[in-house]
Structure 1
Amino acid sequence: MKRLIIILIGFVFYSCEDEVSIDLKEAPSALVVDAWINDKAEPQVISLTATQGYFNSEEPRGIAGATVEVTDSKGNVFEFRDNLNGKYTWDPTNVAEKIETVGTSYQLRIELNGKVYTASSTLHRVPTIDSLKFTFKEEQNVFQPEGYYGEFVATDFRGQGDTYWIKAYKNGIFLNNPFDLNIAYDAGFNAGGNIDGFVFIQPIQDAVTPLNDDLDAIEPYIIGDSLYVEIHSITNEAFYFLQEVQIQTQRDGGFDEIFAEPLENVSTNIVDQTPDLNNKVIGFFNVSSVSGRGRKLLE
Protein backbone atom coordinates (compact mmCIF):
# COMPACT_ATOMS: atom_id res chain seq x y z
CA MET A 1 0.00 0.00 0.00
CA LYS A 2 2.82 2.44 0.91
CA ARG A 3 4.50 1.67 -2.40
CA LEU A 4 1.28 2.50 -4.27
CA ILE A 5 1.01 5.85 -2.46
CA ILE A 6 4.62 6.72 -3.37
CA ILE A 7 3.96 5.88 -7.01
CA LEU A 8 0.82 8.05 -7.04
CA ILE A 9 2.67 11.00 -5.46
CA GLY A 10 5.45 10.66 -8.02
CA PHE A 11 2.88 10.64 -10.82
CA VAL A 12 1.27 13.83 -9.48
CA PHE A 13 4.58 15.72 -9.37
CA TYR A 14 5.54 14.41 -12.78
CA SER A 15 2.26 15.57 -14.28
CA CYS A 16 2.76 19.05 -12.82
CA GLU A 17 5.77 19.52 -15.09
CA ASP A 18 3.63 19.56 -18.24
CA GLU A 19 3.57 22.93 -19.99
CA VAL A 20 0.16 24.51 -20.48
CA SER A 21 -0.36 27.07 -23.20
CA ILE A 22 -3.18 29.49 -22.48
CA ASP A 23 -4.66 31.43 -25.36
CA LEU A 24 -5.80 34.72 -23.84
CA LYS A 25 -8.15 36.92 -25.80
CA GLU A 26 -6.76 40.38 -26.50
CA ALA A 27 -8.84 42.94 -24.59
CA PRO A 28 -9.50 46.39 -26.08
CA SER A 29 -6.86 48.92 -25.12
CA ALA A 30 -7.83 51.32 -22.32
CA LEU A 31 -6.64 54.83 -21.52
CA VAL A 32 -4.51 54.99 -18.35
CA VAL A 33 -4.38 58.34 -16.53
CA ASP A 34 -1.52 58.74 -14.03
CA ALA A 35 -2.25 62.15 -12.49
CA TRP A 36 -0.64 62.43 -9.06
CA ILE A 37 0.45 66.05 -8.68
CA ASN A 38 1.53 68.07 -5.64
CA ASP A 39 2.55 71.44 -4.21
CA LYS A 40 6.32 70.94 -4.64
CA ALA A 41 8.15 73.68 -6.54
CA GLU A 42 9.10 71.40 -9.42
CA PRO A 43 7.56 70.40 -12.77
CA GLN A 44 4.34 68.42 -12.33
CA VAL A 45 3.68 65.53 -14.71
CA ILE A 46 0.48 63.83 -15.84
CA SER A 47 1.01 60.69 -17.93
CA LEU A 48 -1.37 59.20 -20.48
CA THR A 49 -0.65 55.66 -21.66
CA ALA A 50 -2.50 52.71 -23.16
CA THR A 51 -2.96 49.28 -21.60
CA GLN A 52 -1.44 46.28 -23.33
CA GLY A 53 -1.57 42.50 -23.31
CA TYR A 54 -0.88 40.64 -20.04
CA PHE A 55 2.28 38.97 -21.41
CA ASN A 56 3.60 42.12 -23.10
CA SER A 57 6.64 43.23 -21.09
CA GLU A 58 7.37 46.36 -23.14
CA GLU A 59 6.99 49.88 -21.77
CA PRO A 60 3.37 51.07 -22.09
CA ARG A 61 2.76 53.23 -25.15
CA GLY A 62 2.47 56.95 -24.37
CA ILE A 63 -0.49 58.82 -25.82
CA ALA A 64 0.21 62.25 -27.30
CA GLY A 65 -2.17 64.80 -28.82
CA ALA A 66 -4.40 65.39 -25.81
CA THR A 67 -5.33 68.67 -24.16
CA VAL A 68 -4.71 68.41 -20.41
CA GLU A 69 -5.49 71.09 -17.87
CA VAL A 70 -6.25 71.44 -14.17
CA THR A 71 -8.41 74.22 -12.74
CA ASP A 72 -8.91 75.11 -9.10
CA SER A 73 -11.87 76.45 -7.14
CA LYS A 74 -10.27 79.94 -7.18
CA GLY A 75 -10.41 80.12 -10.97
CA ASN A 76 -6.74 79.41 -11.70
CA VAL A 77 -5.94 77.30 -14.76
CA PHE A 78 -2.88 75.04 -14.95
CA GLU A 79 -2.16 74.06 -18.56
CA PHE A 80 -0.06 70.92 -18.98
CA ARG A 81 2.23 70.96 -22.01
CA ASP A 82 2.22 68.00 -24.39
CA ASN A 83 5.75 66.57 -24.63
CA LEU A 84 4.65 64.22 -27.46
CA ASN A 85 5.59 61.09 -25.49
CA GLY A 86 2.56 60.69 -23.27
CA LYS A 87 3.97 63.05 -20.64
CA TYR A 88 2.21 66.35 -19.98
CA THR A 89 3.99 68.89 -17.76
CA TRP A 90 3.21 72.09 -15.90
CA ASP A 91 6.09 74.09 -14.37
CA PRO A 92 5.16 76.07 -11.23
CA THR A 93 8.27 78.26 -11.35
CA ASN A 94 7.86 81.85 -12.55
CA VAL A 95 4.05 81.67 -12.71
CA ALA A 96 1.47 83.31 -10.51
CA GLU A 97 -0.73 80.24 -10.14
CA LYS A 98 0.32 77.88 -7.36
CA ILE A 99 -0.88 74.66 -5.76
CA GLU A 100 -0.66 75.74 -2.16
CA THR A 101 -3.86 76.37 -0.20
CA VAL A 102 -5.21 73.48 1.88
CA GLY A 103 -8.90 72.97 1.25
CA THR A 104 -8.73 74.08 -2.40
CA SER A 105 -10.47 71.75 -4.83
CA TYR A 106 -8.99 70.88 -8.24
CA GLN A 107 -10.59 69.58 -11.41
CA LEU A 108 -8.77 67.63 -14.11
CA ARG A 109 -9.99 67.83 -17.71
CA ILE A 110 -8.57 65.78 -20.58
CA GLU A 111 -9.71 66.11 -24.19
CA LEU A 112 -8.57 63.29 -26.46
CA ASN A 113 -9.89 62.15 -29.83
CA GLY A 114 -13.16 63.98 -29.37
CA LYS A 115 -13.77 62.58 -25.89
CA VAL A 116 -13.65 64.34 -22.53
CA TYR A 117 -12.44 62.83 -19.25
CA THR A 118 -12.69 64.59 -15.88
CA ALA A 119 -11.78 64.02 -12.24
CA SER A 120 -11.62 66.04 -9.02
CA SER A 121 -9.46 66.17 -5.90
CA THR A 122 -8.98 68.36 -2.83
CA LEU A 123 -5.69 69.49 -1.32
CA HIS A 124 -5.42 68.22 2.26
CA ARG A 125 -3.07 69.05 5.13
CA VAL A 126 0.16 67.16 5.75
CA PRO A 127 2.18 66.82 9.00
CA THR A 128 5.87 67.68 9.18
CA ILE A 129 8.46 64.96 9.69
CA ASP A 130 10.04 65.46 13.09
CA SER A 131 13.10 63.29 12.56
CA LEU A 132 14.73 60.39 10.73
CA LYS A 133 16.61 57.73 12.68
CA PHE A 134 18.96 54.84 11.96
CA THR A 135 19.10 52.03 14.51
CA PHE A 136 21.64 49.22 14.37
CA LYS A 137 20.02 45.82 14.91
CA GLU A 138 21.51 42.36 15.30
CA GLU A 139 20.39 39.63 12.91
CA GLN A 140 16.95 38.33 13.87
CA ASN A 141 16.54 35.75 11.11
CA VAL A 142 17.31 35.34 7.39
CA PHE A 143 14.64 37.92 6.59
CA GLN A 144 15.96 40.50 9.07
CA PRO A 145 19.76 40.61 8.71
CA GLU A 146 22.19 42.63 10.79
CA GLY A 147 22.50 46.29 9.87
CA TYR A 148 21.11 49.78 10.20
CA TYR A 149 17.34 50.12 9.98
CA GLY A 150 15.77 53.47 9.07
CA GLU A 151 12.59 55.00 10.40
CA PHE A 152 10.81 58.36 10.37
CA VAL A 153 8.95 60.06 13.18
CA ALA A 154 5.87 62.18 12.49
CA THR A 155 2.57 62.85 14.23
CA ASP A 156 -0.86 62.65 12.65
CA PHE A 157 -3.17 65.65 13.01
CA ARG A 158 -6.01 65.51 15.50
CA GLY A 159 -9.29 64.88 13.74
CA GLN A 160 -10.14 61.59 12.09
CA GLY A 161 -9.93 60.99 8.36
CA ASP A 162 -6.46 62.20 7.33
CA THR A 163 -4.85 59.85 4.82
CA TYR A 164 -1.27 59.74 3.57
CA TRP A 165 1.17 58.11 1.15
CA ILE A 166 4.67 57.82 2.65
CA LYS A 167 7.41 57.69 0.01
CA ALA A 168 11.04 56.79 0.76
CA TYR A 169 14.18 57.36 -1.31
CA LYS A 170 17.41 55.46 -0.71
CA ASN A 171 20.45 57.28 -2.12
CA GLY A 172 18.10 59.37 -4.23
CA ILE A 173 16.28 56.38 -5.74
CA PHE A 174 12.55 56.06 -5.08
CA LEU A 175 11.65 52.77 -3.39
CA ASN A 176 8.85 51.71 -5.72
CA ASN A 177 8.68 47.94 -5.45
CA PRO A 178 5.11 46.79 -4.74
CA PHE A 179 5.97 45.85 -1.15
CA ASP A 180 7.43 49.34 -0.56
CA LEU A 181 3.99 50.96 -0.95
CA ASN A 182 3.37 52.60 2.43
CA ILE A 183 0.04 54.28 3.17
CA ALA A 184 -1.66 55.39 6.37
CA TYR A 185 -5.15 56.25 7.58
CA ASP A 186 -4.57 58.74 10.39
CA ALA A 187 -1.61 57.17 12.28
CA GLY A 188 -2.50 53.56 11.49
CA PHE A 189 -3.29 51.16 8.70
CA ASN A 190 -7.01 51.77 8.22
CA ALA A 191 -10.06 53.67 9.40
CA GLY A 192 -11.02 50.94 11.86
CA GLY A 193 -7.78 51.35 13.79
CA ASN A 194 -9.00 54.52 15.53
CA ILE A 195 -5.42 55.79 15.86
CA ASP A 196 -5.98 59.52 15.49
CA GLY A 197 -3.62 62.32 16.50
CA PHE A 198 -0.73 60.04 17.51
CA VAL A 199 2.75 59.30 16.20
CA PHE A 200 2.54 56.95 13.20
CA ILE A 201 2.59 53.34 14.35
CA GLN A 202 5.95 51.55 14.26
CA PRO A 203 5.35 49.34 11.17
CA ILE A 204 4.60 52.45 9.11
CA GLN A 205 7.68 54.25 10.44
CA ASP A 206 9.88 51.21 9.78
CA ALA A 207 8.63 50.67 6.20
CA VAL A 208 11.19 53.19 4.87
CA THR A 209 13.82 50.43 5.06
CA PRO A 210 13.59 48.59 1.70
CA LEU A 211 13.42 44.95 0.75
CA ASN A 212 16.10 43.36 -1.41
CA ASP A 213 15.62 42.73 -5.13
CA ASP A 214 14.06 39.32 -4.45
CA LEU A 215 11.53 40.98 -2.07
CA ASP A 216 12.07 38.30 0.56
CA ALA A 217 14.37 40.05 3.06
CA ILE A 218 14.97 43.52 4.47
CA GLU A 219 17.99 45.34 3.04
CA PRO A 220 19.52 47.44 5.83
CA TYR A 221 21.30 50.72 5.23
CA ILE A 222 25.09 50.92 5.37
CA ILE A 223 27.46 53.74 6.32
CA GLY A 224 27.30 56.41 3.61
CA ASP A 225 23.72 55.67 2.55
CA SER A 226 21.14 58.44 2.55
CA LEU A 227 17.44 58.31 3.34
CA TYR A 228 14.88 60.88 2.22
CA VAL A 229 11.23 60.51 3.28
CA GLU A 230 8.18 62.38 2.04
CA ILE A 231 4.63 62.36 3.39
CA HIS A 232 2.00 63.10 0.73
CA SER A 233 -1.51 64.00 1.84
CA ILE A 234 -4.08 62.07 -0.19
CA THR A 235 -7.85 61.98 -0.34
CA ASN A 236 -9.70 59.10 1.32
CA GLU A 237 -10.69 57.96 -2.17
CA ALA A 238 -7.01 57.85 -3.17
CA PHE A 239 -6.20 55.87 -0.01
CA TYR A 240 -8.72 53.17 -0.91
CA PHE A 241 -7.44 53.16 -4.49
CA LEU A 242 -3.90 52.48 -3.21
CA GLN A 243 -5.23 49.78 -0.88
CA GLU A 244 -6.62 48.05 -3.97
CA VAL A 245 -3.24 48.46 -5.67
CA GLN A 246 -1.61 46.74 -2.68
CA ILE A 247 -3.98 43.79 -2.98
CA GLN A 248 -3.32 43.42 -6.69
CA THR A 249 0.47 43.87 -6.63
CA GLN A 250 1.74 42.55 -3.28
CA ARG A 251 1.69 38.89 -4.26
CA ASP A 252 4.21 36.30 -3.11
CA GLY A 253 3.37 33.87 -5.92
CA GLY A 254 3.52 30.10 -5.62
CA PHE A 255 1.05 28.23 -3.42
CA ASP A 256 -0.25 31.47 -1.83
CA GLU A 257 -1.81 32.51 -5.14
CA ILE A 258 -4.45 29.80 -4.70
CA PHE A 259 -5.96 31.86 -1.86
CA ALA A 260 -5.24 35.33 -3.29
CA GLU A 261 -7.91 37.63 -4.64
CA PRO A 262 -8.30 37.39 -8.43
CA LEU A 263 -6.48 39.88 -10.61
CA GLU A 264 -8.68 42.77 -11.71
CA ASN A 265 -8.53 46.45 -12.54
CA VAL A 266 -8.64 48.72 -9.50
CA SER A 267 -11.20 51.51 -9.11
CA THR A 268 -10.77 54.93 -10.70
CA ASN A 269 -11.98 58.48 -10.15
CA ILE A 270 -11.55 59.36 -13.84
CA VAL A 271 -14.98 59.93 -15.42
CA ASP A 272 -15.63 59.47 -19.13
CA GLN A 273 -18.12 62.23 -19.95
CA THR A 274 -19.17 60.39 -23.12
CA PRO A 275 -19.22 56.74 -22.00
CA ASP A 276 -18.44 54.16 -24.67
CA LEU A 277 -18.21 50.42 -24.03
CA ASN A 278 -15.35 50.23 -26.52
CA ASN A 279 -13.32 52.96 -24.79
CA LYS A 280 -12.32 52.26 -21.19
CA VAL A 281 -10.42 54.57 -18.84
CA ILE A 282 -8.51 53.69 -15.68
CA GLY A 283 -6.10 55.53 -13.39
CA PHE A 284 -6.36 58.21 -10.73
CA PHE A 285 -6.13 61.96 -10.09
CA ASN A 286 -4.92 63.32 -6.73
CA VAL A 287 -3.42 66.59 -5.55
CA SER A 288 -1.09 66.39 -2.53
CA SER A 289 0.57 68.59 0.04
CA VAL A 290 4.08 67.28 0.70
CA SER A 291 6.48 67.42 3.64
CA GLY A 292 9.94 65.91 3.48
CA ARG A 293 13.14 65.32 5.42
CA GLY A 294 16.47 63.68 4.62
CA ARG A 295 19.45 62.26 6.48
CA LYS A 296 22.74 60.56 5.67
CA LEU A 297 24.02 57.63 7.70
CA LEU A 298 27.43 58.60 9.06
CA GLU A 299 29.86 56.77 11.34
Structure 2
Amino acid sequence: MIPKTLNEAVAAMEEHRGEALLYAGGTYVHEQRERGALLKIKAIVDLEGLGLDTIENGGDSIKAGAMVTLNKVIGSDAFRAAGFEALVQAAYATGPDQIKNAATLGGAVACWVPVIDIVPVLMSLRAKAVVQVARESRTIEVGDLLNGPEKTLLGKTALISGFLLPRPAPGSRSQFKKFRRSASDWAVVNASASIRSDGAGRCVDAKLVVGARADGYFSLPRTEQFLIGKQIDGKALAAVPGIVSTELTLTDHFTASADYKRSLCGFLLRDAIAGAAKIDVSQARDAKGVDRHG
Protein backbone atom coordinates (compact mmCIF):
# COMPACT_ATOMS: atom_id res chain seq x y z
CA MET A 1 0.00 0.00 0.00
CA ILE A 2 1.28 3.46 -0.92
CA PRO A 3 -0.71 6.11 0.99
CA LYS A 4 -0.60 9.72 -0.16
CA THR A 5 -1.34 11.32 3.22
CA LEU A 6 -0.66 10.60 6.88
CA ASN A 7 -4.37 10.03 7.45
CA GLU A 8 -4.42 7.40 4.71
CA ALA A 9 -1.42 5.68 6.29
CA VAL A 10 -3.08 5.61 9.72
CA ALA A 11 -6.32 4.37 8.16
CA ALA A 12 -4.40 1.50 6.56
CA MET A 13 -2.92 0.62 9.95
CA GLU A 14 -6.38 0.67 11.51
CA GLU A 15 -7.84 -1.50 8.75
CA HIS A 16 -5.16 -4.15 9.22
CA ARG A 17 -4.79 -3.73 12.97
CA GLY A 18 -1.79 -5.74 14.12
CA GLU A 19 -1.26 -7.23 10.67
CA ALA A 20 0.23 -4.21 8.87
CA LEU A 21 3.89 -3.25 8.69
CA LEU A 22 5.18 0.29 8.21
CA TYR A 23 7.96 0.39 5.63
CA ALA A 24 10.50 3.22 5.94
CA GLY A 25 14.11 2.45 4.97
CA GLY A 26 13.62 -1.30 5.08
CA THR A 27 16.77 -2.21 7.00
CA TYR A 28 14.88 -3.67 9.96
CA VAL A 29 12.22 -5.27 7.76
CA HIS A 30 14.84 -7.44 6.09
CA GLU A 31 16.15 -8.57 9.48
CA GLN A 32 12.62 -9.43 10.64
CA ARG A 33 12.04 -11.45 7.49
CA GLU A 34 15.17 -13.48 8.17
CA ARG A 35 13.84 -14.21 11.67
CA GLY A 36 10.45 -15.29 10.34
CA ALA A 37 8.72 -12.44 12.15
CA LEU A 38 6.66 -11.33 9.12
CA LEU A 39 4.53 -14.45 8.71
CA LYS A 40 1.41 -12.74 10.10
CA ILE A 41 1.82 -9.52 8.11
CA LYS A 42 -0.93 -9.02 5.51
CA ALA A 43 -0.21 -5.44 4.41
CA ILE A 44 2.90 -3.30 3.99
CA VAL A 45 2.35 0.45 4.28
CA ASP A 46 5.07 2.28 2.35
CA LEU A 47 5.80 5.75 3.80
CA GLU A 48 8.08 6.96 1.01
CA GLY A 49 5.53 9.17 -0.72
CA LEU A 50 4.44 11.19 2.33
CA GLY A 51 7.13 13.89 2.15
CA LEU A 52 8.61 12.98 5.53
CA ASP A 53 12.23 13.21 4.36
CA THR A 54 12.88 16.91 4.96
CA ILE A 55 14.83 18.85 7.59
CA GLU A 56 13.37 22.25 8.50
CA ASN A 57 15.80 24.63 10.17
CA GLY A 58 13.88 27.43 11.82
CA GLY A 59 12.58 28.68 15.14
CA ASP A 60 13.51 27.15 18.49
CA SER A 61 13.59 23.59 17.15
CA ILE A 62 14.81 21.75 14.08
CA LYS A 63 12.14 19.51 12.58
CA ALA A 64 13.38 16.32 10.96
CA GLY A 65 10.94 14.07 9.15
CA ALA A 66 10.68 10.42 10.11
CA MET A 67 12.01 9.39 6.69
CA VAL A 68 15.21 11.44 6.99
CA THR A 69 18.08 9.01 6.45
CA LEU A 70 21.25 8.89 8.49
CA ASN A 71 23.31 10.12 5.55
CA LYS A 72 20.97 13.11 5.24
CA VAL A 73 21.62 13.85 8.92
CA ILE A 74 25.36 13.73 8.26
CA GLY A 75 25.10 16.13 5.32
CA SER A 76 22.65 18.57 6.87
CA ASP A 77 23.82 22.13 7.57
CA ALA A 78 21.23 22.31 10.35
CA PHE A 79 23.08 19.70 12.40
CA ARG A 80 26.51 21.30 12.04
CA ALA A 81 25.70 23.67 14.90
CA ALA A 82 27.44 23.22 18.25
CA GLY A 83 25.46 20.85 20.44
CA PHE A 84 24.49 18.43 17.67
CA GLU A 85 27.92 16.75 17.42
CA ALA A 86 26.68 13.46 18.92
CA LEU A 87 23.88 13.16 16.35
CA VAL A 88 26.28 13.31 13.42
CA GLN A 89 28.77 11.01 15.18
CA ALA A 90 26.11 8.37 15.83
CA ALA A 91 24.89 8.56 12.24
CA TYR A 92 28.47 8.04 11.01
CA ALA A 93 28.91 5.09 13.39
CA THR A 94 25.85 3.21 12.12
CA GLY A 95 27.11 0.68 9.62
CA PRO A 96 28.29 1.10 6.02
CA ASP A 97 26.93 3.63 3.52
CA GLN A 98 24.36 1.11 2.27
CA ILE A 99 22.76 1.19 5.71
CA LYS A 100 23.15 4.94 6.23
CA ASN A 101 21.52 5.61 2.85
CA ALA A 102 18.43 3.61 3.84
CA ALA A 103 18.06 3.68 7.63
CA THR A 104 15.74 6.44 8.86
CA LEU A 105 15.28 8.34 12.11
CA GLY A 106 11.69 7.16 12.43
CA GLY A 107 12.58 3.55 11.79
CA ALA A 108 15.35 3.63 14.38
CA VAL A 109 12.95 4.71 17.12
CA ALA A 110 9.90 2.72 16.02
CA CYS A 111 11.68 -0.64 15.87
CA TRP A 112 13.80 0.04 18.98
CA VAL A 113 16.33 -2.76 18.75
CA PRO A 114 18.85 -2.36 21.58
CA VAL A 115 21.24 -0.92 20.86
CA ILE A 116 20.65 1.39 17.88
CA ASP A 117 23.13 4.24 17.97
CA ILE A 118 20.84 7.15 17.10
CA VAL A 119 18.28 6.51 19.88
CA PRO A 120 20.33 7.49 22.98
CA VAL A 121 21.49 10.59 21.11
CA LEU A 122 17.92 11.70 20.40
CA MET A 123 17.18 11.16 24.09
CA SER A 124 20.22 13.14 25.24
CA LEU A 125 19.25 16.00 22.91
CA ARG A 126 15.75 15.96 24.45
CA ALA A 127 14.14 15.28 21.09
CA LYS A 128 10.39 14.83 20.83
CA ALA A 129 8.67 12.50 18.39
CA VAL A 130 5.71 13.83 16.42
CA VAL A 131 3.23 10.96 16.49
CA GLN A 132 0.15 10.61 14.31
CA VAL A 133 -2.66 8.93 16.26
CA ALA A 134 -5.96 8.55 14.42
CA ARG A 135 -6.49 12.05 12.99
CA GLU A 136 -4.47 13.83 15.67
CA SER A 137 -0.81 14.79 15.97
CA ARG A 138 0.92 14.55 19.36
CA THR A 139 4.46 15.23 20.56
CA ILE A 140 6.07 12.75 22.94
CA GLU A 141 9.59 12.65 24.41
CA VAL A 142 11.55 9.97 22.57
CA GLY A 143 12.50 8.28 25.84
CA ASP A 144 8.84 8.12 26.88
CA LEU A 145 7.96 6.14 23.74
CA LEU A 146 10.21 3.22 24.59
CA ASN A 147 8.68 0.32 26.46
CA GLY A 148 11.16 -2.54 26.35
CA PRO A 149 13.22 -4.20 23.60
CA GLU A 150 11.39 -4.01 20.26
CA LYS A 151 8.37 -2.42 22.00
CA THR A 152 7.13 1.16 21.95
CA LEU A 153 4.00 2.91 23.15
CA LEU A 154 2.95 3.61 19.57
CA GLY A 155 0.49 0.74 19.51
CA LYS A 156 -0.68 -0.83 16.27
CA THR A 157 -2.41 2.14 14.67
CA ALA A 158 -0.02 5.07 15.17
CA LEU A 159 3.10 6.21 13.38
CA ILE A 160 5.96 8.65 13.86
CA SER A 161 5.90 11.47 11.31
CA GLY A 162 8.95 13.38 12.53
CA PHE A 163 11.06 14.74 15.37
CA LEU A 164 11.52 18.11 17.04
CA LEU A 165 15.08 18.72 18.23
CA PRO A 166 15.47 21.79 20.46
CA ARG A 167 18.14 24.15 19.25
CA PRO A 168 21.08 23.82 21.70
CA ALA A 169 21.68 26.80 23.96
CA PRO A 170 25.01 28.66 23.78
CA GLY A 171 27.76 26.72 25.52
CA SER A 172 26.26 23.34 24.55
CA ARG A 173 28.24 20.44 23.15
CA SER A 174 27.56 16.72 22.80
CA GLN A 175 29.50 13.54 22.17
CA PHE A 176 28.67 9.93 21.27
CA LYS A 177 30.67 6.77 22.04
CA LYS A 178 30.06 3.07 21.41
CA PHE A 179 31.66 -0.31 21.99
CA ARG A 180 31.10 -3.26 19.66
CA ARG A 181 32.81 -6.59 19.14
CA SER A 182 33.39 -6.10 15.41
CA ALA A 183 32.88 -3.40 12.78
CA SER A 184 29.72 -5.09 11.47
CA ASP A 185 28.17 -5.91 14.85
CA TRP A 186 25.51 -4.09 16.86
CA ALA A 187 26.89 -2.07 19.74
CA VAL A 188 27.28 -3.92 23.02
CA VAL A 189 26.86 -0.58 24.81
CA ASN A 190 26.75 3.03 23.68
CA ALA A 191 26.63 6.42 25.38
CA SER A 192 25.59 9.97 24.55
CA ALA A 193 26.42 13.05 26.61
CA SER A 194 24.95 16.50 26.05
CA ILE A 195 26.31 19.19 28.36
CA ARG A 196 26.17 22.96 28.62
CA SER A 197 28.90 24.97 30.33
CA ASP A 198 29.04 28.58 31.47
CA GLY A 199 31.82 31.03 30.70
CA ALA A 200 33.90 29.71 33.60
CA GLY A 201 33.73 26.12 32.37
CA ARG A 202 31.24 24.90 34.98
CA CYS A 203 28.54 22.48 33.88
CA VAL A 204 25.11 24.14 34.10
CA ASP A 205 23.06 21.44 32.36
CA ALA A 206 23.56 17.80 31.42
CA LYS A 207 21.55 15.06 29.76
CA LEU A 208 23.26 11.67 29.81
CA VAL A 209 21.99 8.45 28.23
CA VAL A 210 23.49 4.99 27.84
CA GLY A 211 22.29 1.94 25.94
CA ALA A 212 23.05 -1.70 26.71
CA ARG A 213 22.52 -4.73 24.50
CA ALA A 214 19.37 -6.66 25.48
CA ASP A 215 18.45 -4.08 28.14
CA GLY A 216 17.57 -0.82 26.41
CA TYR A 217 18.34 2.83 27.02
CA PHE A 218 18.75 4.60 30.35
CA SER A 219 18.83 8.23 31.43
CA LEU A 220 21.17 8.85 34.35
CA PRO A 221 19.77 11.63 36.57
CA ARG A 222 22.11 10.90 39.50
CA THR A 223 25.19 11.31 37.31
CA GLU A 224 23.69 14.44 35.74
CA GLN A 225 23.15 16.03 39.14
CA PHE A 226 26.71 15.16 40.13
CA LEU A 227 28.08 17.14 37.17
CA ILE A 228 25.88 20.23 37.43
CA GLY A 229 27.68 23.09 39.13
CA LYS A 230 31.08 21.41 38.83
CA GLN A 231 34.10 22.17 36.72
CA ILE A 232 34.45 19.18 34.42
CA ASP A 233 38.04 18.17 35.09
CA GLY A 234 40.00 15.00 35.73
CA LYS A 235 38.64 14.59 39.24
CA ALA A 236 35.00 14.87 38.13
CA LEU A 237 35.58 12.52 35.19
CA ALA A 238 37.20 9.90 37.41
CA ALA A 239 34.07 9.74 39.57
CA VAL A 240 31.65 9.18 36.68
CA PRO A 241 32.04 5.38 36.16
CA GLY A 242 31.37 4.67 39.82
CA ILE A 243 28.23 6.80 39.90
CA VAL A 244 26.92 5.29 36.66
CA SER A 245 27.34 1.77 38.08
CA THR A 246 24.95 2.62 40.93
CA GLU A 247 22.24 3.74 38.49
CA LEU A 248 22.14 0.71 36.19
CA THR A 249 20.53 -2.69 36.65
CA LEU A 250 21.45 -4.78 33.62
CA THR A 251 21.14 -8.41 32.54
CA ASP A 252 23.65 -10.96 31.33
CA HIS A 253 23.83 -11.44 27.55
CA PHE A 254 25.90 -13.75 25.39
CA THR A 255 27.86 -10.71 24.17
CA ALA A 256 28.78 -9.50 27.67
CA SER A 257 27.89 -10.05 31.30
CA ALA A 258 25.78 -7.54 33.20
CA ASP A 259 28.80 -6.41 35.23
CA TYR A 260 30.92 -5.94 32.12
CA LYS A 261 28.21 -3.93 30.35
CA ARG A 262 27.75 -1.76 33.43
CA SER A 263 31.49 -1.08 33.56
CA LEU A 264 31.60 -0.30 29.84
CA CYS A 265 28.69 2.11 30.18
CA GLY A 266 30.50 4.02 32.91
CA PHE A 267 33.76 4.39 31.04
CA LEU A 268 32.13 5.16 27.68
CA LEU A 269 29.98 7.84 29.26
CA ARG A 270 33.02 9.30 31.00
CA ASP A 271 34.77 9.50 27.62
CA ALA A 272 31.69 11.07 26.01
CA ILE A 273 31.53 13.73 28.74
CA ALA A 274 35.24 14.42 28.31
CA GLY A 275 34.78 14.80 24.56
CA ALA A 276 31.83 17.14 24.97
CA ALA A 277 33.80 19.23 27.47
CA LYS A 278 36.95 19.13 25.30
CA ILE A 279 38.90 17.57 28.16
CA ASP A 280 41.68 15.01 27.64
CA VAL A 281 40.25 11.84 29.17
CA SER A 282 43.72 10.87 30.40
CA GLN A 283 43.18 13.49 33.11
CA ALA A 284 40.64 11.17 34.73
CA ARG A 285 42.66 10.07 37.74
CA ASP A 286 41.68 9.27 41.26
CA ALA A 287 43.09 10.95 44.35
CA LYS A 288 46.12 8.65 44.30
CA GLY A 289 46.94 9.54 40.71
CA VAL A 290 45.92 6.16 39.30
CA ASP A 291 44.95 6.42 35.65
CA ARG A 292 41.29 5.45 35.26
CA HIS A 293 41.29 5.48 31.48
CA GLY A 294 39.67 2.22 30.34
Q: TM-score, normalised by structure 2?
A: 0.25
Q: TM-score, normalised by structure 1?
A: 0.25
Q: Per residue, is there more strand in 1 or in 2?
A: 1
Q: Is the radius of gyration larger for structure 1 or structure 2?
A: 1
